[in-house]
Structure 1
Amino acid sequence: MALDPILQTMLNQMPIPASEELDIAAYRASAEALRSMMIGPEGPIEVASIEDRTLAGPRGDIVLRIYRPNGAVAGTLHHFYGGGWSVGNIDIIDPIARRLARDLSMVVVTSNYRLAPENPFPAGLDDCLVAARWTLDHVGELGGGERPVVVSGESAGANLAAVVALVLRDEQPGRSFNAQLLINPAVDLRDTTFQRASLLADADPSLRTHSLRQLYPLYSAGHDRADPRLSPLAADDLSGLPPAVIAVLTVDPLRDEAVEYADRLRAAGVPVELIEFPDLTHGFTGLTVLVPAADRALVRTLALLRELLARTAADAGRS
Structure 2
Amino acid sequence: MTPRMSGSCARRQNRLQLKETNFMALDPALQQILDQLPIPSGEIDFPALRKQTLSMTSLFHGPEGPIEIGHVENNDLPSLAGSVPIRIFRPAGTPRGTLHLLHGGGWAMGSIDFIEPLARRLTRDLSMVVVASGYRLAPEHPFPAGFEDSLAAARWVLDHVGELGGAAHPVVIGGESAGGNLAAAIALELRSGASKNFDAQLLFYPAVDLRSEADAYPSRLANADPSLRTETFPQMMGSYCGGHDRADPRISPLAAERLDSLPPAVVVVLTVDPLRDEAVAYADRLREAGVVVDLVEFEHLTHGFPNLSALVPAAAKATAAVVERLEELLARAAMTA
TM-score (ref. length: structure 2): 0.91
Match of 1:235 among 248, 256, 273: 256
Tell which deviates more after alignment, 40-49 or 198-207. 40-49
RMSD, aligned CA: 1.2
Paired residue for 1:46?
68
Aligned runs of 1:68-79 on 2, under 5 Å?
68-79=90-101
Query: Shift of residue 12 of structure 1?
Result: 3.7
Paired residue for 2:80?
58
Query: Shift of residue 42 of structure 1?
Result: 1.5
Paired residue for 2:43?
21
Q: Secondary structure at the match of 1:93?
A: helix
Q: How far, CA to CA, are the matches of 1:11 and 1:78 in structure 2?
A: 28
Match of 1:264 among 285, 301, 305: 285
**Pair 1:308 & 2:329 matched:** yes
**Deviation sequence 1:280-304 (CA, Å, 0-9, x none):** 1111111111111111110001110
Aligned runs of 1:165-204 on 2, under 5 Å?
165-172=187-194, 175-204=196-225
Instruction: Name the CA shift for 1:61/1:14 in 2 (closer, same or farther; >3 Å).
Output: closer
Tell which deviates more after alignment, 60-69 or 152-161. 60-69
Instruction: Name the CA shift for 1:234/1:8 in 2 (closer, same or farther; >3 Å).
Output: same
Question: Residues 39 and 228 of structure 2 are in contact (CA less than 8 Å); yes or no, is this contact kept in structure 1?
Answer: no
Match of 2:271 among 230, 250, 259: 250
Q: Secondary structure at the match of 1:91?
A: helix
Query: Shift of residue 138 of structure 1?
Result: 0.5
**Deviation sequence 1:135-174 (CA, Å, 0-9, x none):** 000011111111000000000000000000000010136x
Match of 1:95 among 103, 106, 117: 117
Match of 1:150 among 137, 159, 172: 172
Q: How far, CA to CA, are the matches of 1:15 and 1:212 in structure 2?
A: 16
**Pair 1:6 & 2:22 matched:** no
Query: Partner letter of residue 5 of structure 1?
Result: P
Instruction: Name the CA shift for 1:146/1:295 in 2 (closer, same or farther; >3 Å).
Output: same
Query: Shift of residue 26 of structure 1?
Result: 2.4
Paired residue for 2:14?
none
Paired residue for 2:243?
222
Q: Secondary structure at the match of 1:92?
A: helix
Question: Residues 224 and 274 of structure 2 are in contact (CA less than 8 Å); yes or no, is this contact kept in structure 1?
Answer: yes
Query: Partner letter of residue 293 of structure 1?
Result: A
Q: Secondary structure at the match of 2:74?
A: strand
Q: How far, CA to CA, are the matches of 1:16 and 1:150 in structure 2?
A: 30
Sequence identity of aligned pairs in percent? 60
TM-score (ref. length: structure 1): 0.96
Question: Residues 143 and 242 of structure 2 are in contact (CA less than 8 Å); yes or no, is this contact kept in structure 1?
Answer: yes
Query: Partner letter of residue 300 of structure 1?
Result: A
Q: Secondary structure at the match of 2:129?
A: strand
Paired residue for 2:231?
210
Q: How far, CA to CA, are the matches of 1:182 and 1:96 in structure 2?
A: 14
Query: Partner letter of residue 215 of structure 2?
Result: F
Instruction: Name the CA shift for 1:85/1:264 in 2 (closer, same or farther; >3 Å).
Output: same
Match of 2:158 among 124, 136, 158: 136
Query: Shift of residue 29 of structure 1?
Result: 1.6
Query: Shift of residue 15 of structure 1?
Result: 6.5
Query: Shift of residue 277 of structure 1?
Result: 0.4
Q: Secondary structure at the match of 1:171?
A: coil
Q: How far, CA to CA, are the matches of 2:310 and 2:162 in structure 1?
A: 33
Query: Shift of residue 222 of structure 1?
Result: 0.8
Query: Partner letter of residue 104 of structure 2?
Result: G
Query: Shift of residue 92 of structure 1?
Result: 1.7
Query: Partner letter of residue 34 of structure 2?
Result: L
Paired residue for 1:106?
128
Query: Partner letter of residue 278 of structure 2?
Result: E
Query: Shift of residue 14 of structure 1?
Result: 4.9
